[in-house]
Amino acid sequence: FSITDTKHKRANMLWADDADKKVLSKAFDVKIDNDMLVLDGVTSRKRQIGPAIQQAIESL
């Protein structure tokens, strides 16, 4: 689940389970330690979030 904050130019990502968390971690090459992932500079679901998640899923 993604909440795009256009004012601050970032996306806040939430997930349902550990599998989703693993995909997000791989998609954005980050280690996730808390309950929400904040992606600074990411505002486009179509151009930035979707392709990164799709590529991560295909590589798992």
List the domain boundaries for the chain: 2-59
Rounded to whole angstroms, how far apart are CA atoms 56 and 14? 16
Rounded to whole angstroms, how far apart are CA atoms 34 and 56? 20
* pTM of the predicted structure, to 2 decimals: 0.87
CATH fold of the domain at 2-59: Diaminopimelate Epimerase; Chain A, domain 1 (3.10.310)
pLDDT of residue 3: 96
SS3 track for the chain: CEEEECCCCEEEECCCCHHHHHHHHHHCCCCCCCCCEEEECCCCHHHHHHHHHHHHHHHC
- For residues 4 and 45, the answer to whether their CB atoms sit within 8 Å is yes
pLDDT, tens digit, 9 for 90 and up, residues 7-44: 999 999 999 999 999 999 999 999 998 999 999 999 99
